[in-house]
């Protein structure tokens, strides 16, 4: 009996670890909790950062959907917290005021198709579970996730109150990654103008490093020009003169960016 009870206890602990059953943030600050969602028969694991103020702010919480880059792909449901927004959240766990949803794409896949549906299903589940404000949904992503931000925003142009793509682009920068592109406009004669026309009423702030040799900044420059020509409501572009591909650390450490983002509301 003792052996059987011990085995059951180990199984229960393992399930709690995988599913992240804790949903209440620690008293000293916010925390990550693990969750899973099933879409088209596929189970995908993701993380949710729950702020310290979650219980007191239920129904009023802003919520951020974060899309990781190529280096964080996998099926462990955790790696996406190790670069980009995740480290910033850990450093500011006691003060960050928003719910953050961090889905993950499998190895060798992009933010498109089923992965986008999984990301939005995870966002919907987190909004329902933790009581986020549907009028204050925000979208950001870095590198591959910057492309994903455009893909999801174009599919759902009326959903997000603001979008912050970081070191992303429109067309694939490498022949080895032909699927790394903004799919909805890839066949357009002027994909930049097509994006600008569709999203001109959405507040957007793009960030890029001027010296980026992995995803060069030319596409973001063209996008900014296209948005200006389209009479966009509020589209900004910040280019770090000495920055290379890692534009995300500076972006997520920018208090002005967060103040701007959280001021937006649908």
CATH code, domain with 173: 3.40.50.1820
> Is 7 among the domain residues?
no
> Is 19 among the domain residues?
no
Check residue 229 and give its pLDDT.
98
- The full DSSP string for the chain is -HHHHHHHHHHHHHHHHHHT---S--TTS-EEEEEEEEETTEEEEEEEEE-TTTTTTTTTEEEEEEE--GGG-SSSS-GGGSSTHHHHHHHTTTT--SEEEE--PPTT--SSHHHHHHHHHHHHHHHHHHTEEEEEEEEEEETHHHHHHHHHHHH-TTT-SEEEEES--SS-S-TT-TT-S-GGGTTSSSHHHHHHHHHTTS-EEEEEETT-SSS-THHHHHHHHHHHHTT-SSEEEEEETT--S--HHHHHT-HHHHHHHHH---
Check residue 6 and give its pLDDT.
39
> Is 15 among the domain residues?
no
Angstrom distances, CA of residue 41 to CA of 37, 44, 118, 128? 10, 10, 11, 21
Check residue 28 and give its pLDDT.
64
Check residue 8 and give its pLDDT.
33
Domain residues for the domain of 96 are 25-263
> Is 98 among the domain residues?
yes
> Is 1 among the domain residues?
no
| Per-residue pLDDT tens digits for 200-243 | 999 999 999 999 999 999 999 999 999 999 999 899 999 999 99
| Per-residue pLDDT tens digits for 4-17 | 333 333 333 333 33
> Is 204 among the domain residues?
yes
**What residues of the chain score a pLDDT lower than 70?**
1-28
Number of domains the chain is built from: 1
> Is 132 among the domain residues?
yes
Check residue 175 and give its pLDDT.
81
> Is 214 among the domain residues?
yes
pTM summary value? 0.89
């Amino acid at each position: 009996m003792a052996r059987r009870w011990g085995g059951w206890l180990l199984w229960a602990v393992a399930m709690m670890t995988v599913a992240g059953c804790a949903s209440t943030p620690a008293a000293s600050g916010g925390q990550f909790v693990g969750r899973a969602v099933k879409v088209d028969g596929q189970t995908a694991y993701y993380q949710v950062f729950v702020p310290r103020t979650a219980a007191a702010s239920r129904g009023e919480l802003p919520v951020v959907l974060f899309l990781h880059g190529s280096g964080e792909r996998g099926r462990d449901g955790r790696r996406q917290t190790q670069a980009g927004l995740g480290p910033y959240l850990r450093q500011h766990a006691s003060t960050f005021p928003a719910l953050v949803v961090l889905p993950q794409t499998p190895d060798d896949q992009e933010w498109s198709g089923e992965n986008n549906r999984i990301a939005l299903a995870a966002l919907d589940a987190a909004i329902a579970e933790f009581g986020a404000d549907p009028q204050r949904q925000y979208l950001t992503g870095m590198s591959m996730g910057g492309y994903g931000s455009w893909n999801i925003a174009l599919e759902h142009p009326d959903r997000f109150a603001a979008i912050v793509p970081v070191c992303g682009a429109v067309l694939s920068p490498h022949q080895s990654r032909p699927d790394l592109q903004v799919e909805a406009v890839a066949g357009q004669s002027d994909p930049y103008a097509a994006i600008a026309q569709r999203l001109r009423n959405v507040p957007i702030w793009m960030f890029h490093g001027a010296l980026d040799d992995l995803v060069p900044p030319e596409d973001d420059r063209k996008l900014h020009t296209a948005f200006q020509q389209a009479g966009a409501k509020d589209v900004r572009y910040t280019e770090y003169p000495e920055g290379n591909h890692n534009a995300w650390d500076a972006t997520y450490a920018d208090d002005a960016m967060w103040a701007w983002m959280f001021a937006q509301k649908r």
